[in-house]
């Protein structure tokens, strides 16, 4: 049997997303690289936004878009400096939370793949490019 990403909500349900995202934010709260990047003192609203977005992406209700509009995730992440280190920490914590979940292996594989690609796509700070494509003044 092979499943598609938009069937995942029916398989793991709202509780699955809740548990995945809670496990992730527990780790973010204790992370010296990531915690300072999250602007709000209270992580609960950010946790809710991520949960609603993921539910929607993986075939659940579109509450996220009703509340927040089109996701435009790359644009929404621009205010935050996401370099390789931040990207890797994010992936590490989401991967660890995913490992703990009682989801079918195929679900875990699809979600892991999505996060691997999504986190790379959301990087917006690539110091290695500086030398060739930006002036010295911009190279930071």
Name the residues that contact ligand HEM, by CB under 6 A: 34, 37-38, 40, 46, 49-50, 53, 68, 73, 76-77, 80, 82, 86-87, 90, 115, 118-119, 122
Among residues 80 and 104, whose Cβ is nearest to ligand HEM? 80
Task: Give the count of beta carbons closer than 10 Å to the beta carbon of residue 123.
Answer: 16
Among residues 66 and 73, whose Cβ is nearest to ligand HEM? 73
Beta-carbon contacts of residue 77 (< 8 Å; ≥ 6 apart) = 122, 124
Beta-carbon contacts of residue 7 (< 8 Å; ≥ 6 apart) = 59
- State the nearest-atom distance from the C-beta of 131 to ligand HEM, in Å: 24
How far is 78 from 87, CA to CA, in rounded Å? 13
- State the nearest-atom distance from the C-beta of 122 to ligand HEM, in Å: 5
How far is 74 from 87, CA to CA, in rounded Å? 13
Phi/psi of residue 80, nearest 5 degrees: -105, 135
The CB-nearest residue to ligand HEM is 118
**Which tokens in the block code for residue 16?**
């699955």
- State the nearest-atom distance from the C-beta of 48 to ligand HEM, in Å: 9
Q: Using CA of residue 126, residue 132, residue 134, residue 137, what is the dihedral sign?
A: positive
- State the nearest-atom distance from the C-beta of 40 to ligand HEM, in Å: 6
- State the nearest-atom distance from the C-beta of 126 to ligand HEM, in Å: 14
Among residues 4 and 135, whose Cβ is nearest to ligand HEM? 4
Among residues 7 and 80, whose Cβ is nearest to ligand HEM? 80
């Amino acid at each position: 049997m092979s499943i598609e990403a938009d069937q995942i909500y029916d398989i793991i349900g709202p509780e699955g997303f809740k548990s995945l995202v809670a496990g992730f934010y527990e780790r973010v709260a204790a992370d010296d690289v990531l915690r300072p990047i999250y602007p709000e003192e209270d992580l609960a609203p950010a946790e809710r936004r991520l949960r609603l977005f993921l539910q929607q992406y993986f075939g659940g209700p579109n509450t996220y878009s009703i509340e927040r509009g089109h996701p435009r995730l790359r644009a929404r992440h621009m205010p935050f400096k996401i370099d390789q280190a931040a990207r890797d920490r994010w992936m590490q914590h989401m991967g660890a939370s995913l490992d703990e979940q009682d989801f079918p292996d195929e679900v875990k594989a699809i979600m892991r793949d999505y996060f691997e690609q999504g986190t790379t796509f959301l990087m917006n700070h690539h110091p290695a490019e500086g030398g060739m494509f930006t002036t010295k003044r911009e190279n930071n």
